[in-house]
Amino acid sequence: MRIVLQRVSRSKITVDNNVIGSIQKGVLLLVGVHHDDTAEKASWLANKCADLRIFNDSNGKMNLSLKDIDGEALVVSQFTLFGDCRKGRRPSFIEAASPQKGEELYLHFIKQLKKQICKVETGIFGAMMEVELVNDGPVTLLLEQ
């Protein structure tokens, strides 16, 4: 599983001109599922996202987690995170999970994150979405398990 985590001051997802998810201070999580991923990996990453100390404390140090600040999360499925561009000019997606497995683990990840974070919004699995964000910092991290 691969996640691009972006610390945001706000973010939203639009599908067919309708806002389907929006958050204020927190994280935008682009989630890609590998064909070998498991529920255990998804749970581990959900915990990591909730506990990662990437928000500033009163001294300006990154010492606070999403849980510590009562932050929000916006989770977007992103199979293209497993696009392999090493050969040719068209990405290969053979490392990405099948749509069925990808959706199952994506939903498991969200369920685990919701156990720790008060507000978790999501995109629509497999849909064409427009994602807007205001990156805070900017802080962008790549998490893998």
Which residues are the active-site residues? 80
Alpha carbon distances (Å) from 80 to 46, 113, 137, 142, 144:
20, 22, 25, 14, 14
Distance between CA atoms of residues 89 and 100, nearest Å: 27
| Six token digits for residue 128 | 């064409």
Distance between CA atoms of residues 115 and 11, nearest Å: 21
| Six token digits for residue 67 | 């849980």
3-state DSSP assignment of residue 144: strand
CB within 8 A of 97, min separation 6: which ones?
Answer: 33, 34, 35, 37, 79, 105
